[in-house]
Structure 1
Amino acid sequence: MTLAHSRQFSTSLNPINITSLSKQLIQLGRINNPNTFSDTTHHQQLQASSLISNLNNCTCLPQIKQLHCHVIRQGLDQSCYIITKLIRTLTNLNVPMDPYPRRIMNLVQFPNPFLYTSVIRGYAVQQNLSEAVTMYGSMRREGITPVSFTFSALLKACGSVGDLSLGRQFHAQTFKLSGFCSVYVGNTMIGFYVKCGDLESARKVFDEMPERDVISWTEVIAAYAKSGDMESAEGMFERLPKKDVVAWTAMVTGFVQNAKPLEAVECFDRMERSGVLPDEVTVAGFISACAQLGDSKYADRAVEMALKFGYSLRDHVVIGSALIDMYSKCGNVEEAVKVFESMKNKNVFTYSSMILGLAMHGRAKEALDLFHYMVTQTTIKPNNVTFVGVLTACSHAGLVDQGRQMFASMHQTFGVEPTREHYTCMVDLLGRVGRLQEALEVVQTMSVEPHGGVWGALLGACRIHKDPDVAEIAAKRLFELEPDVIGNYILLCNVYASAGDWDGVLRVRRLIKEKGLKKTPAVSWVVDEKGQMHKFSPGNMNHPMSDKIQGTLEELVERLNVLGYQPDLSSVPYNASDDEKRSILTRHTEKLALAFSLITTSRDCTIKIMKNLRMCQDCHTFMRLASEVTGRVIIVRDNMRFHRFRSGACSCGDFW
């Protein structure tokens, strides 16, 4: 009987009817041997094959119930093979394990390990670890030995909830029962330890595996990459006998995650030369690397690569979203908008990328308008990332009331629970407008424990508004949470310096020295017309054009003085003479990069400068006035946002 003919049977069999019919069939002798599928008659085997084929095509619960009816009528409801397949299909359709799938299993008189495992896997997939463990206990009490898939399901479940202790117990069980049952279990075990943050145990499992495959290698490579240990990741990658696209992708994305964009691009080039074709994730990683490099020449190459490997910008959401992010971070938000508008398919990540891109370029109104369009004119629901973009837009534009409304609507209207990142945005918003006490109250009343980012936002606001009292509160917590992050000490040092508290500056510097912390050196870079990157560090005189750069800077300062430029000496956190401070400010890296660009580019060319740290107040004023006297558009991307200087004005409206 075919699926089409089954319309005559009920599509909503309840468990009681199934139980009754099954018992009747057993009593009537319809089941030859309820224990194994292999002992069924030839006719039943043919029926089973047909049922399995139809199960593979099921897309909804009513269809499965129809087929379950056939299973019972054909006397196959005691076949572990058939029922296992039935339960796996129900799991794949996300049908709750209780009551339907669990009762189906309970009706089987002689369940085998594969049937037990299908139920364990179902509970694990549905995040019900306690029931999965209970089912495992029942299995062991019945004297049934688990198979490799049993442990892989349990370990994945433990990893998904971060239960390291329970996962270790199952790890021990694999040795007690049969050692490493398979490479598959070993790989799952590595993944479990990685998810729980125990990289040492993950590496130990890898080292002790008698047999490994490319997945084993890739899991461990990706785990060192995620932890920031790219040196170890590279070492293992080079030892990998056969490098497939997944392994190459792990390295490309690892370099991107660890802010090594040039290395990511080089790795992608090696992959291409080796003859391995990248997939969508690899191309997206390459695009992210180009975004970090922040120049349109790399952006053009990223688009070229995407098209070369057949990824249409209109049809591939992942690639399109990555390109929106890349163009935004390369200072070309107009091109990002073009990509967004050209995309046929959009999802929440596409909208979120565009909202955040507009926000970082100071186009708050457009960002908020796009958000309102998304939630009112489409069926797309905002997520955590969307609200980070929305709140960032409010923060960069000083829209306190709108920011408060958006923050409140997250949970009340859209069911999105605020995370630490959202609280960071709110603290940043209030701090930028000088409401430091309100910002402190937000931190102290958070629904989750504040992390370093939240306290760091508050400390940064104290630097802007020269409030050492609140700064000391924030710094104290930061030093507890992130005792080795030198940026926190530098921020507090700057707060003391801006308030003229040089004793405070000395105390912090002494603390930095005692801890042996190294300051992150400021670096700015530009890419010339040939695609070559030029980096500038403070007072760097090693550049071949250093004399011309210095001369151009001196000439530019004289022209700015006519407009009333006076160096902002408070931007130098040192107790030095005014002349020494002026000299230090002149050597700031973005000014050196600007002078180089003025020498090497034509007058109609937009100057794009990237910097790894936040731009100081003096450099911001300098760039704004320089755009007026030179007639050039100057774009500076620091670690906070984009500044687009044109005709003496900045896109941030001097609110940053």
Structure 2
Amino acid sequence: MLYKSYITANYYCNLFRFCWSCGFSSTAHKVFDKSPQRHGHEGLASFVQGNVLGKKSPKYELCSALICCAKTLNSHLGSQIHGKIVHSGFDQNLYINSSLVNVYAKCGLMGDAMKVFDGIELHDEVSWTSMICALSQNGQGGEALCLFKEMMTTLVKPNCVTYVSVISACTEQESVFRCGELLHAHVIMLGHESNRFVVSSLIDYYSKCGRMDKAVMLFGSCLASDDVVLNTMISAYTRNQQGEEALKVFVKMRDANASLSEHTLTSVLDACGALAVLQMGKQVHGLVMKMGSDQNTFVVGALINMYSKCGDIDEACHVFDQAGYKNNILWTSLITAYAQSGRGPDALKIFDHLVMEKRFYPDHVCFTVVLTACNHSGLLDKGISYFKKMTSDYNLAPEIDQYACLIDLYARKGDLKSAKQVMEEMPFDANAVMWSSFLSSCKEYGNVELGREAAYKLFELEPRSPVPYLILADLYAGAGLWDEVKNIRKFMNENGVRKSLAGWSCVG
């Protein structure tokens, strides 16, 4: 029964998925052979065959089998092994139970994971950490923090892995975002501030909060030569549009022969693209080839993005063509490359070809790129058609990014009433970016009434920003409403809003 379950739930399921994606059974076999999950499948096959022969499994073997189930996301076989664990009397073994929690969490079965955790009579730091990590990885940051607080009421002290997990929960969940600073204080109190993984998680947390000052302070205070910390710092700089600083750290790592992760290569390529430093990007490309990372989907996507932002669309296409396995991420990267290079119609042709000929199933990110291409090319009717297809053809509920593209598309074409109608009817509150874009279009087309409404919305959303006041004043001036211009400047002074200082330069 176990052997049959293994074959059905893993081999044929994954093989079918790969065949469906690639369209060729031979290619599917090759992809499966190269899959990082293969060793997990082989481990499970060995375990299952042993059980078919009636072999009694020791505790370490059960733990290994559960780790393989987690790698291959095989919840069905994991639950059968769970039954064998109970039957064997190992259901109170902390390491086995922690492995069970990990299996269920990786498969998204958080109810089962919590049942296993609640069934443990005496918890240690491993079992607490396993459950906190499970909640954090499944987007339940608030629950992870609550469990951490419960742990702190016991005699069990959190370890470094516990702190990494709970800080990650604060990083990913906006509702518990600001708790990271309190955790930082805990880390210092318990003497974990020198652990490189804890430091890296704190740097990641502060960078996602926009507090690069604290991230830089942490980076400079300790472990500034550690590979893990250096890799994290590059990602932090890139995330906060500080590409030059990211490249400086990268050069420092290369000089020290420090090891680079593929995530770091992606961040460095993003920084090269943002700064449009093609020569540096080519050097990183050479490093990618040397490290053998040229088949990593995310690295290849970053290469395509870098070349397109640097204006070399031909090289971006060459990188795409050289990729062995083209999935949704790479196709979306290619469409983005054409859209960013001012070749919106070509981007749309690729998209149409994919959905018609390649059984391509676009996601929200891809539709955002497609709608942006329509926007930059002024293709209103096509944009509306693609927006409707999200629901009708792909059962995707449009998110705020796609609504923003549609609103901007209407506004750029001068259909301000339709743009405003979409903002009022969409299931989200229009944000400052939407209203700012709408206000700029009102100014361009001289619509005083709608421009005034947009400006007053922005006065509420961004009360300290002088931009909506100045745009509205320009709109009034363009319409010859000089009294209104005086009133808006008076209103600006009354609210204590000051115009930013004009730019200046110094010639030596």
Scaled by the length of structure 2, the TM-score of the pair is: 0.81
Match of 2:253 in 1: 271
Residues 41-190 of structure 1 mapped to structure 2, 5 A cutoff:
58=41, 65-70=48-53, 73-76=54-57, 79-96=58-75, 100-111=80-91, 112-139=93-120, 144-160=121-137, 162-190=139-167
Query: Are 2:382 and 1:418 equivalent residues in the alignment?
Result: no
Distance 1:516 1:262 in 2: 35
Q: If you compute each CA radius of gyration, which structure gives the higher value, 1 or 2?
A: 1
Deviations 1:407-446 (A, max 9, x none): 1222332344322111110001111111111111212222
Displacement, 1:163? Answer: 4.1
Deviations 1:194-230 (A, max 9, x none): 2232232332233233234111111111222222222
* Shift in CA distance, 277/123, structure 1 to aligned 2, threshold 3 Å: closer
Query: Are 2:172 and 1:195 equivalent residues in the alignment?
Result: yes
Query: Are 2:279 and 1:300 equivalent residues in the alignment?
Result: yes
* Shift in CA distance, 418/279, structure 1 to aligned 2, threshold 3 Å: same
Query: Are 2:424 and 1:444 equivalent residues in the alignment?
Result: yes
Residues 325-474 of structure 1 mapped to structure 2, 5 A cutoff:
325-378=305-358, 380-474=360-454
Match of 2:24 in 1: none
Question: Larger relative contact order (C-alpha < 8 A, sep ≥ 6)?
Answer: 1
Q: Secondary structure at the match of 2:75?
A: coil
Deviations 1:349-406 (A, max 9, x none): 3322332232233322101011123333435532222111110111112212211121
Q: 329-338 or 455-464, which moves further after superposition?
A: 329-338
Q: 1:259 aligns with which of 241, 257, 264?
A: 241
Q: Secondary structure at the match of 2:438?
A: helix
Query: Are 2:263 and 1:281 equivalent residues in the alignment?
Result: yes
Match of 1:12 in 2: 4
Question: 2:223–2:229: 8 Å Cα contact kept in structure 1?
Answer: no
* Shift in CA distance, 349/475, structure 1 to aligned 2, threshold 3 Å: farther
Aligned residues: 469
Displacement, 1:316? Answer: 4.6
Question: 2:170–2:205: 8 Å Cα contact kept in structure 1?
Answer: no
Q: Look up the equivalent residue of 2:73 and give its one-letter code.
A: N
* Shift in CA distance, 13/396, structure 1 to aligned 2, threshold 3 Å: closer
What do you get for the CA RMSD once the two structures are aligned?
3.3
Question: 1:12–1:65: 8 Å Cα contact kept in structure 2?
Answer: no
* Shift in CA distance, 110/287, structure 1 to aligned 2, threshold 3 Å: closer
Distance 2:439 2:340 in 1: 21
Question: 1:245–1:279: 8 Å Cα contact kept in structure 2?
Answer: no
Question: 2:40–2:72: 8 Å Cα contact kept in structure 1?
Answer: no
Question: 1:355–1:367: 8 Å Cα contact kept in structure 2?
Answer: yes
Question: 1:421–1:453: 8 Å Cα contact kept in structure 2?
Answer: no
Question: 1:392–1:425: 8 Å Cα contact kept in structure 2?
Answer: yes
Match of 2:208 in 1: 226
Deviations 1:243-301 (A, max 9, x none): 3333222222222222222222222222323332433332332222222223xxx2112
Distance 1:254 1:10 in 2: 45
Query: Are 2:502 and 1:542 equivalent residues in the alignment?
Result: no
* Shift in CA distance, 248/498, structure 1 to aligned 2, threshold 3 Å: farther
* Shift in CA distance, 321/163, structure 1 to aligned 2, threshold 3 Å: closer
Deviations 1:92-138 (A, max 9, x none): 32223696455444434451222332332233223343443333223
Distance 2:421 2:478 in 1: 24
Match of 1:214 in 2: 196
Question: How many percent identity over aligned positions?
Answer: 23
Scaled by the length of structure 1, the TM-score of the pair is: 0.64
Question: 1:423–1:454: 8 Å Cα contact kept in structure 2?
Answer: no
Q: Secondary structure at the match of 1:307?
A: helix
* Shift in CA distance, 241/60, structure 1 to aligned 2, threshold 3 Å: closer
* Shift in CA distance, 96/477, structure 1 to aligned 2, threshold 3 Å: farther
Structure 1, unpaired ranges of 5+: 1-8, 15-54, 522-536, 545-656
Displacement, 1:177? Answer: 3.0
Q: Secondary structure at the match of 1:353?
A: helix
Displacement, 1:485? Answer: 4.9
Question: 1:315–1:344: 8 Å Cα contact kept in structure 2?
Answer: yes
Q: Secondary structure at the match of 1:180?
A: coil
Q: Secondary structure at the match of 1:243?
A: coil
Match of 1:247 in 2: 229
Q: 191-200 or 129-138, which moves further after superposition?
A: 129-138
Deviations 1:590-638 (A, max 9, x none): xxxxxxxxxxxxxxxxxxxxxxxxxxxxxxxxxxxxxxxxxxxxxxxxx
Distance 1:372 1:166 in 2: 43
Match of 2:19 in 1: none
Question: 2:309–2:341: 8 Å Cα contact kept in structure 1?
Answer: no
Q: Secondary structure at the match of 1:12?
A: helix
Deviations 1:149-174 (A, max 9, x none): 32223223333455454323321233
Deviations 1:290-343 (A, max 9, x none): 22223xxx2112212331462579645433322322233234434434443444
Question: 2:43–2:65: 8 Å Cα contact kept in structure 1?
Answer: no
Structure 2, unpaired ranges of 5+: 7-37
Q: Look up the equivalent residue of 1:87 and give its one-letter code.
A: L
* Shift in CA distance, 278/91, structure 1 to aligned 2, threshold 3 Å: closer
* Shift in CA distance, 209/117, structure 1 to aligned 2, threshold 3 Å: same
Question: 2:269–2:281: 8 Å Cα contact kept in structure 1?
Answer: yes
* Shift in CA distance, 93/290, structure 1 to aligned 2, threshold 3 Å: closer
Q: 365-374 or 90-99, which moves further after superposition?
A: 90-99
Q: Look up the equivalent residue of 2:4 and give its one-letter code.
A: S
Q: 431-440 or 126-135, which moves further after superposition?
A: 126-135
Distance 2:365 2:379 in 1: 19
Deviations 1:454-478 (A, max 9, x none): 3333233222222232234334444
More helix by percentage: 2
* Shift in CA distance, 180/312, structure 1 to aligned 2, threshold 3 Å: same
Question: 2:390–2:398: 8 Å Cα contact kept in structure 1?
Answer: yes
Distance 1:287 1:328 in 2: 11
Q: Secondary structure at the match of 1:543?
A: coil
Q: Look up the equivalent residue of 1:133 and give its one-letter code.
A: M
* Shift in CA distance, 129/57, structure 1 to aligned 2, threshold 3 Å: closer
* Shift in CA distance, 191/208, structure 1 to aligned 2, threshold 3 Å: farther
